[in-house]
Amino acid sequence: MIDRRGFLAAVPATAYASKRALSQGGASFSRDVTLPIDRIGVQLYTVRNEMAANADATLATIAEIGYAEVELAGLYGMTAREMRAKLDAVGLRAASSHHGIDEVRSGWERTLAAAQELGQSQVVVPGLPGNERSAEGLRRIAEDFNRAAEAARAAGLRFGYHNHEWEFRPLEDGSVPMELLLDGTEAELVDWQMDIFWTVHGGGDPARAIRARSGRVTSVHVKDRTAAGDMVDVGDGIIDFSRLIPLAEGLGLRHAFVEHDQPQDALASVRRSFRHMMLNPGRP
C-alpha cells in the first residue's frame, strides 16, 4: 500500500507523457483528475464476486493496486474480527460499511460494535425500500436516522446516507426526497455519502449540492457516467471529478470510494480507476 505522493514518486516521468500506454485496451483517459485526498478507497461491492471466491487474494490485490481504505458491503460469512485480521494482514483499513434500514431499527448496537471492531470511522445506510419513499415515510425515516446517528456518535462513529437517483425526482406533492431527508435530519449528526454517478443520473447537480450542504458530504462514491447514462470506469466518462473532489474536500470530504456496480472485470476496473485518479502531472 502506498499513498498518493509515494505512488507518484514511484512512477517514471515518462509515464506522464503517455496515459494511453497505461490504459487498458488502448483507450485513453478522458481527463486528469486532481484528488488531494491521500487515502483513496474502494467500495468492495465492486469486487463482491471475487471477495466471495477468495477474500485473501482479492484484498491483497486491492492493496497492491495502491488503495488504502475499503468500504464494506457485508462480511462474506466472516466475523468482524476475522475481516479485520484479513485487512490488517495486507495493510488495508475498513473506513466505512453499508447497512440496511432494518439494521438501524433492530440490532443497531451490534452493528456499531462490529464497526468499532473493524476500526471504522463511519456507517452508512445505502438505500431505502420503495414502500417508504413517500413524503410521510421519509419524514419517519429521518427520525430513525437521527436516533441511529446519536447512537453512532456515542460509539465514536459518523452516520450517513447514500443516495441513488430516485432521491432527486420530485414526489407527487412536489417535495424532493433528498431534501426531505437532509432537512429532516440533524446536520451535525447525519452525513451525506454522495454517489456522484447516481446524483447526476437523477438530474442533480453534484457541485451545487456539495455547496448547498456544506459540511454534510463527508464521503463520496466515485464512479463515472457516459453522456448516454452508462456506468463506466473512472476517467472513461464525462463527470468532471477534477472539479468535484477538491470542492468537496474543501467543504468536509473525508473519504472517496471508487465503485462500479457491474464491471466486466472487477479487478481490472478498480485498477484502471485508481490509475486514472492518481496519474495527474499537475500534482506536486
The pLDDT score that the predictor gives to residue 5 is: 35
Give the residue-averaged pLDDT of 88-107: 97
The pLDDT score that the predictor gives to residue 47 is: 98
Domains for the chain: give ranges and CATH numbers.
4-14+39-278 (3.20.20.150)
pLDDT confidence bin for 279, thresholds 50/70/90: low
- Quote the CA–CA distance of 31 and 113 in Å, as a whole number: 41
Give the residue-averaged pLDDT of 79-88: 98
The pLDDT score that the predictor gives to residue 281 is: 26
| Average pLDDT of the chain to the nearest whole number | 87
Give the residue-averaged pLDDT of 142-149: 98
**What b/e string do you get for 108-123 counting C-beta neighbours within 10 Å, with b at 16 or more?**
beebbebbeebebbbb
- Given a cut of 60, whether residue 283 has pLDDT beyond it is no
- Given a cut of 90, whether residue 99 has pLDDT beyond it is yes
**What b/e string do you get for 14-51 counting C-beta neighbours within 10 Å, with b at 16 or more?**
eebeebeeebeeeeebbebbebebeebbbbbbbbbebb
pLDDT confidence bin for 242, thresholds 50/70/90: confident
Give the residue-averaged pLDDT of 218-229: 97
- Given a cut of 80, whether residue 79 has pLDDT beyond it is yes
pLDDT confidence bin for 38, thresholds 50/70/90: low
Least confident of 19-23, 52-56, 143-147, 165-169: 19-23
Give the residue-averaged pLDDT of 84-95: 98
The pLDDT score that the predictor gives to residue 12 is: 33
Q: What percent of the chain has pLDDT over 90?
A: 81
Helices 266-278 and 55-65 pack at an angle, to 10 degrees, of: 20
pLDDT confidence bin for 37, thresholds 50/70/90: low
Least confident of 32-41, 77-86, 199-208, 237-246: 32-41
Cell 463527470, located at residue: 239
The pLDDT score that the predictor gives to residue 8 is: 34
pLDDT confidence bin for 32, thresholds 50/70/90: very low
Query: pLDDT per residue over 253-274, tens digit each?
Result: 999 999 999 999 999 999 999 9
- Given a cut of 60, whether residue 22 has pLDDT beyond it is no
Give the residue-averaged pLDDT of 176-190: 98
- Given a cut of 80, whether residue 58 has pLDDT beyond it is yes
The pLDDT score that the predictor gives to residue 277 is: 86
Give the residue-averaged pLDDT of 206-227: 97
